[in-house]
A and B are shown apart, each in its own frame.
Chain A
Amino acid sequence: MNLLALDGAFVLEKLILIAVVISISLVVAMYATYVERKFAGFIQDRHGPNRAGPFGLLQPLADGLKLFFKEEIIPNNSNKLLFVLGPCLAMLTAMMTSAIIPWGGTVELFGQQVSLQIADINIGILYVFGVVSMGVYGMMIGGWASNNKFSLMAALRGASQAISYELAMGLSLIALLMLTGSLSLKTITEQQVTGLWNIVYQPVGFLIFFVCALAECNRAPFDLPEAESELNMGYHQEYSSMKLGFFLFAEYINMFISCAIIATLFFGGYDIPFVDESTWSGGAAAIGGVLALMTKTFILILVFMWIRWTLPRFRYDQLMNLGWKGLIPLALLNMVATGAVILLTMKQA
C-alpha cells in the first residue's frame, strides 16, 4: 500500500486538487440551478430569473442567502441526530464521486508531474457505484428520522427506485467494461483519446446508462422521490432552511458528477474531438482537456434539463416496469451481444 507512505508534497497536491474540485462542483451546482430556471423559462416562452444582478446572475446567491436565513425547524418527535445526518450524507456522497474523475491529463507544476485526477484507483467505476449506493442512505435516514409517514413513504420510494436503476446501470456498464478491459477511468479515457469514443461501440449501453443516470439523480421524468405536486413532496418534506438546501444542492452536484462520468465513459473524457492534442505542449493540452471535459459535461447537463422540461413524470408502476422489464433485459442483451462480437473478432484475429 504505497499510498500510505506519506509524502508532504503529495498530500498538499491532493488536498489542493480536492479543494479545487469540490469548489468547482459547488459553483457548477449553484449555477446549474440558475441555468435550469433560465432554461425552463426559455422553453416556456418566459425570461427566467432576471432581477438579481445583470441577467439574474446573482440569483443563486440570493437563493442561498434566503435558505440560510430561513428558520431551522427540527420536528419534535424526530430523531435529531439522524435528522441532521441525512442531508450531511447526501452532500458527502454527492461530493465523494468526484474523486475518481480524470479532469484532465497531467500538468507540470513546480517541477512535479501533477495528475488532474484525485485518485486513480484500479476499481474506478465500481467506486462510483459504491458511493452511489451509499447515496440512498441520506435519503432513507432523512425520510425516516423526520417521523412523518409521507417522508418515510417517499424515502422508500426513492430508495427502491435508486436500487432498481442501479442494477440496469451496472449491467449496461459491464458491456462497456468488456470492451475496455479496465475499470480505471483514466485508462478508459486514454483508450478513447487514441481510438474512437465509446459511444460508437456502445450506443445501446449509453442509452441505458443515460436513462439510469436520470433516474439515479432523481431528475424528471424520474423525479418521483420528490414529486412535489402530486405525491406530497418527498423525503425532504420536514426539512427547512439550509438542510433542505443541502438535499436539493446534492442533487445538482450529483447531476454534474454523473454528467462528467457519462462524458468520461462514453464521450472521450478530456479528449478534444478532431484534434490531435499529443502535438501540443503539456500545459496547453491539459487545459484544453479540462475545457473539453467541462464543455461535454455542460452539454450533457443541458440535455438533462431539456429532458426535464419536456417529458412528464412517470407513474410509479411505469417507472418500475421500465427499469425491471425494459432496461435490465435490454442491458443483458447488450451484454450478450457485445460478448459475442468480442469473441468473434478475437477468433478472427
Chain B
Amino acid sequence: MQSLTQRAKPVDRSPMTWLEKIYLWNIFKGMLITFRHFFKKRATIQYPEQKRPFSPVFRGLHILNRDEQGRENCTACGLCAVACPAEAITMEAAERLPGEEHLYREEKYAARYEINMLRCIFCGLCEEACPKDAIYLSETFAPANYSRKSFIYGKPDLLIPDPVKHPEEYAKAKGELDKKKSKP
C-alpha cells in the first residue's frame, strides 16, 4: 500500500538484540530526549496576564448593534431565530410608540430578545441571516456561572453600549465589530 505521507515508517518487528534487551542504552536515549526538552521554549500562555490573540474568524458572544445615534437596529423580524440550528434565540416583537424614535430605528422592535448561551453553538448563522446588520458575534466568550438561568442572555446583556451616553465603551465594542465587518 502506498503511504499517505512521507513520514510513514514501517514497524521494525525483528527480534531484539542483546543490547536492546537490557534497555539501558534506550533508557539513556530517552532520558537525553527529555533532557533536551528542559531547554526548549515553553508553550504555556500565562492566561490572565497574557492572552492568546483571537483568530479573525473567531465567533464569540453575540452583540446587538445600534446605529450612530444609539438606536437599536433589530426589527424583530425573526430571521435569526429561524436560521438558528440550535433554536437558542427567542424574541418578542413590539410596535414603536410615538416618542420612542430615539430608541429604535424602525417601527417594529424586539421587546424581548433572549439567547440561551447553553444551547448556542456559536455557528454565526444568525449573523449571516440578519438583514438589518443588527446581530454580530463578538470576540468574548461566555463566562462561567453557577446557574443555568444566568446563561439566558437578555437584551441588557446583549446590547452594544449606547454611543451617545457611553461613547468610550461603544467605541471599544465598535472597534471589534468593525474589525469583524472588514474581514473577507
**What are the residues of chain A within 8 A of B41 when measuring CB–CB?**
45
Q: Hey, what's the 0/1 contact readout for B21-40 against A, CB within 8 Å counting as 1?
A: 00000010011011101101
Interface size for A (C-beta < 8 A) is 11
Bound complex: CA A44 to CA B35 (Å)? 10
**What are the residues of chain A within 8 A of B11 when measuring CB–CB?**
none
A306 with B40: CB separation less than 8 A: no
Look across to chain A and name the residue whose beta carbon is closest to the beta carbon of B32.
Answer: A310
Check if A47 is an interface residue, CB within 8 A of chain B. Answer: yes
Check if A46 is an interface residue, CB within 8 A of chain B. Answer: yes
A46 with B34: CB separation less than 8 A: no
Check if A27 is an interface residue, CB within 8 A of chain B. Answer: no
Check if A42 is an interface residue, CB within 8 A of chain B. Answer: yes
Bound complex: CA A346 to CA B116 (Å)? 88
Cβ-neighbour of A46 out of B27, B33, B35, B42 (below 8 A): B42
Check if A311 is an interface residue, CB within 8 A of chain B. Answer: yes
With contacts A43-B37, A44-B37 known, is A307 near B31, CB below 8 A?
yes
14 contacts between A and B (CB under 8 A): A43-B34, A43-B38, A45-B42, A45-B43, A45-B44, A46-B42, A46-B44, A47-B44, A306-B34, A306-B35, A307-B31, A309-B34, A310-B30, A310-B31
**What are the residues of chain B within 8 A of A43 when measuring CB–CB?**
34, 37-38
**What are the residues of chain B within 8 A of A47 when measuring CB–CB?**
42, 44, 46
Look across to chain B and name the residue whose beta carbon is closest to the beta carbon of A40.
Answer: B34
**What are the residues of chain A within 8 A of B38 when measuring CB–CB?**
42-43
Chain B residues proximal to chain A, CB less than 8 Å: 27, 30-31, 33-35, 37-38, 40-44, 46
Expressed in whole angstroms, the minimum distance between the Cβ of A169 and any Cβ of chain B is: 18
Q: A14-50: which have CB < 8 Å to B?
A: 42-47
B31 with A306: CB separation less than 8 A: yes
**What are the residues of chain B within 8 A of A45 when measuring CB–CB?**
37, 40-44
Q: Hey, what's the 0/1 contact readout for A295-307 against B, CB within 8 Å counting as 1?
A: 0000000000011
**What are the residues of chain A within 8 A of B43 when measuring CB–CB?**
45-46
**Dominant SS among interface residues on chain A:** loop
Bound complex: CA A309 to CA B34 (Å)? 8
Expressed in whole angstroms, the minimum distance between the Cβ of A305 and any Cβ of chain B is: 10
Expressed in whole angstroms, the minimum distance between the Cβ of A327 and any Cβ of chain B is: 11
Expressed in whole angstroms, the minimum distance between the Cβ of B55 and any Cβ of chain A is: 23
Chain A residues proximal to chain B, CB less than 8 Å: 42-47, 306-307, 309-311
Cβ-neighbour of B30 out of A42, A44, A46, A311 (below 8 A): A311
Expressed in whole angstroms, the minimum distance between the Cβ of B29 and any Cβ of chain A is: 10
A311 with B42: CB separation less than 8 A: no
Bound complex: CA A315 to CA B140 (Å)? 46
**What are the residues of chain A within 8 A of B46 when measuring CB–CB?**
47
Look across to chain A and name the residue whose beta carbon is closest to the beta carbon of B37.
Answer: A43
Bound complex: CA A69 to CA B44 (Å)? 30
Expressed in whole angstroms, the minimum distance between the Cβ of A146 and any Cβ of chain B is: 34
Best-surrounded residue of B30, B34, B37, B38 (most CB of chain A within 10 A): B34
Look across to chain A and name the residue whose beta carbon is closest to the beta carbon of B21.
Answer: A326
**What are the residues of chain B within 8 A of A44 when measuring CB–CB?**
37
Expressed in whole angstroms, the minimum distance between the Cβ of B27 and any Cβ of chain A is: 7
**What are the residues of chain A within 8 A of B37 when measuring CB–CB?**
42-45
Expressed in whole angstroms, the minimum distance between the Cβ of B74 and any Cβ of chain A is: 43
Expressed in whole angstroms, the minimum distance between the Cβ of B48 and any Cβ of chain A is: 10
Q: What are the 6 closest A-B residue pairs judged by CB atoms, nearest first?
A: A310-B34, A43-B34, A310-B31, A45-B43, A310-B30, A42-B38
Best-surrounded residue of A45, A47, A309 (most CB of chain B within 10 A): A45
**What are the residues of chain B within 8 A of A311 when measuring CB–CB?**
27, 30
Look across to chain B and name the residue whose beta carbon is closest to the beta carbon of A207.
Answer: B24
Expressed in whole angstroms, the minimum distance between the Cβ of A19 and any Cβ of chain B is: 36
Bound complex: CA A146 to CA B151 (Å)? 43
Look across to chain A and name the residue whose beta carbon is closest to the beta carbon of B27.
Answer: A311
Look across to chain B and name the residue whose beta carbon is closest to the beta carbon of A307.
Answer: B31
Look across to chain A and name the residue whose beta carbon is closest to the beta carbon of B29.
Answer: A310
Expressed in whole angstroms, the minimum distance between the Cβ of A25 and any Cβ of chain B is: 27
Expressed in whole angstroms, the minimum distance between the Cβ of A180 and any Cβ of chain B is: 26
Look across to chain A and name the residue whose beta carbon is closest to the beta carbon of B48.
Answer: A51
Bound complex: CA A327 to CA B43 (Å)? 40
Bound complex: CA A64 to CA B14 (Å)? 50
Bound complex: CA A213 to CA B75 (Å)? 75
Bound complex: CA A43 to CA B37 (Å)? 5
Expressed in whole angstroms, the minimum distance between the Cβ of A176 and any Cβ of chain B is: 20
Bound complex: CA A310 to CA B40 (Å)? 16
**What are the residues of chain B within 8 A of A309 when measuring CB–CB?**
34
**What are the residues of chain A within 8 A of B42 when measuring CB–CB?**
45-47
Bound complex: CA A310 to CA B42 (Å)? 18
Bound complex: CA A37 to CA B35 (Å)? 15
